[in-house]
Amino acid sequence: MSLKDKINPQRLPKHVAIIMDGNGRWAKCQGKDRLFGHQNGVESVREVTEASVELGIKFITFYAFSTENWNRPVDEIEGLMHLMIQAIENETPTLMKNNVRFEVIGDIQKINKETKEAIERITEKTKNNRALTMIIALSYSSRWEIEQAIKTIALEVKNGELDIDDINQDLISNHLCTKNYPDPDLLIRTSGEYRISNFLMWQLSYSELYFTDVFWPDFKRENYYEAILDFQSRERRFGKISEQLNK
């Protein structure tokens, strides 16, 4: 029985979030520059996205660039933005064929015009696709997102549009970039690092965490199936005790 066949289609994560880590180290191991690692990382994005469509997963979020990544060398930042444009141009037909909607979350004001325009094009073109929503976290961090949400809520209170007593967890969730998506059920981080790195900190409260030593460019379908099978072996209690759950 293949790994894929072992996956229970009734117990799929609805939303998978991925911290794609290890591109630089993967490239270094081969004596290549960091951008070579990122280029090969795009292949893994493609495979995991296709596998998600085939399995019937509804949302997948890739952490492509954090607000802190703006501190990387300019060459790497420019290379990554160029790679993003290239990937968008190359992958748009496949996303249309596979009925995948493409969306971006993050502080996109900081992104250069060319990349922003490519993002706007693909978002508009794929907006009615429904099989899978592929979310790219770009110039994103949780602390930035929460700061924005607090500013907006404070302004609404100041303008008399909102009462302080209206502030609750649902209202906060509805002021985050992820307001249209369910919280991730599963977080995958590659490359043997055990951190959240400012990624979806509010939304990951009850997510199952899966860490693997595999570097992102080596993370392919079979690795993804393994992560999903591991997820399916977990008991999600959401603060309750085992006996209270509907088995």
Report how far apart, in Å, the C-alpha atoms of 176 and of each of 72, 132, 145, 182, 203 are. 26, 20, 6, 12, 9
Selected catalytic residue, list 33, 69, 129, 198: 69
Of 51, 57, 85, 87, the residue at the interface with ligand FPP (CB under 6 A) is 87
Q: At what angle do helices 221-232 and 34-55 cross, to 10 degrees?
A: 50
Per DSSP, the residues of 112-139 read -HHHHHHHHHHHHHTTT--SEEEEEEEE
Of 5-13, 33-41, 167-175, 196-204, which segment contacts ligand FPP by CB under 6 A?
Answer: 33-41
Active site residue 168: no
- Is residue 208 part of the contact set for ligand FPP (CB under 6 A)? no
- 3-state DSSP helix/strand/coil percent for the chain, to nearest 5? 50, 15, 35
- Is residue 103 part of the contact set for ligand FPP (CB under 6 A)? no
Tell me the residue number closest to ligand FPP, measured at CB. 24
- Is residue 106 part of the contact set for ligand FPP (CB under 6 A)? no
Select 41 or 106, whichever has its Cβ closest to ligand FPP.
41
The size of the interface with ligand FPP (CB under 6 A), counted in residues, is: 19
- Is residue 200 part of the contact set for ligand FPP (CB under 6 A)? no
Structure token digits, residue 51: 């596998």
Close Cβ partners of 85 (under 8 Å, ≥ 6 residues apart): 114, 115, 118
- Is residue 13 part of the contact set for ligand FPP (CB under 6 A)? no
Closest approach, Cβ 34 to ligand FPP, in A, equals 6
Active site residue 69: yes
Selected catalytic residue, list 21, 23, 40, 223: 21
- Site track for ligand FPP across 131-150, x = CB under 6 A: -----x--------------
Of 12, 17, 18, 24, the residue at the interface with ligand FPP (CB under 6 A) is 24
Close Cβ partners of 127 (under 8 Å, ≥ 6 residues apart): 101
Sites for ligand FPP among residues 55-84 (CB under 6 A): 62, 64-65, 69, 83-84
Partners of 16 in the β-ladder: 60, 186
Select 84 or 100, whichever has its Cβ closest to ligand FPP.
84
Which amino acid, one-letter code, is at 187? Answer: L
- Is residue 228 part of the contact set for ligand FPP (CB under 6 A)? no
The DSSP 8-state label assigned to residue 19 in this structure reads E
Please list, residue by residue across 208-217, b when 16 or more beta carbons sit within 10 angstroms of its beta carbon and e when fewer do.
bebbbebbbb
From 8, 19, 16, select the one nearest 133 (Cα to Cα): 16
Q: Which residues bind ligand FPP (CB under 6 A)?
A: 20-25, 34, 38, 41-42, 45, 62, 64-65, 69, 83-84, 87, 136
Q: Catalytic residues, which ones?
A: 21, 69
